[in-house]
């Protein structure tokens, strides 16, 4: 019996014509749904699912979820600080207030740094969530079954057949 294990963000719910029994797949573009057999779960249900079935994957998924949330909050805060800085920079010359202009410029720099910091934080969080699904999938596959994985490294992305 050959079992296919998929862990990729390139699949949408419409492309998943038949569910793979016993394996989870993280689907980012389709609203972050997770499929398990014929069941569709959101992130909260997935956390509960992993907490009862695979503790290391549960901890990794929780870590990724927290990291992703922190990244989104940092992005929002950075954009808000950027907006406030832009308003101060625009309003400074109108009031002929040089201090308002320079404080606005420093707000823009701080907001830009927060936005830049949020991008890898979000990326790392989603990566950890994908790794948690991979951990669960690998625990469900016995050594005698052949399976496919999509792997990424420094040299690019590749499809690997394990048997």
| Residues 96-137 pLDDT 10s | 778 888 899 999 999 999 999 999 999 999 999 888 888 887
Asked if residue 113 belongs to a domain, the reply is: yes
By C-alpha distance, which of 53, 63, 70 is closest to 122? 70
HSE at residue 150, side-chain half, CA atoms within 13 A, is 11
In a domain, 75, yes or no: yes
The predicted pLDDT at position 5 comes to 41
pLDDT for residue 131: 87
Q: Does 52 map to a domain?
A: yes
pLDDT (0 to 100) of residue 52: 85
- DSSP three-state, residue 41: strand
Is 54 a member of any domain?
Answer: yes
The domain total for the chain is 1
pLDDT value at residue 33: 54
| pLDDT > 70 fraction of the chain, expressed in percent and rounded | 70
Residue 10 lies inside a defined structural domain of this protein:
no
Question: Among residues 142, 136, 156, which one has the least CA distance to residue 6?
Answer: 136
Residues 6+ apart with CB under 8 A from 52: none
Q: Angle CA(10)–CA(11)–CA(17) in degrees, nearest 5?
A: 160
In a domain? residue 78: yes
Q: Is residue 135 part of a domain?
A: yes
- pTM listed for this prediction: 0.63
């Amino acid at each position: 019996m050959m079992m296919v294990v998929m862990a990729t963000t390139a699949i949408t719910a419409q492309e998943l014509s038949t569910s793979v029994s016993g394996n989870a797949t993280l689907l980012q573009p389709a609203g972050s749904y997770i499929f398990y057999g014929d069941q569709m779960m959101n992130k909260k249900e997935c956390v509960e699912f992993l907490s009862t079935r695979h503790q290391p994957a549960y901890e990794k998924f929780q870590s990724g979820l927290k990291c992703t949330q922190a990244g989104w909050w940092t992005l929002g805060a950075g954009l808000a600080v950027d907006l406030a800085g832009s308003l101060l920079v625009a309003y400074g010359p109108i009031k002929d207030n040089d201090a308002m202009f320079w404080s606005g410029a420093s707000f823009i720099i701080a907001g830009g740094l927060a936005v830049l910091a949020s991008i890898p934080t979000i990326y790392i969080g989603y990566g950890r969530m994908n790794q948690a699904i991979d951990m669960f999938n690998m625990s469900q596959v016995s050594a005698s079954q052949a399976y496919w994985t999509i792997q990424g490294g420094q040299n690019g992305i590749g499809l690997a057949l394990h048997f």
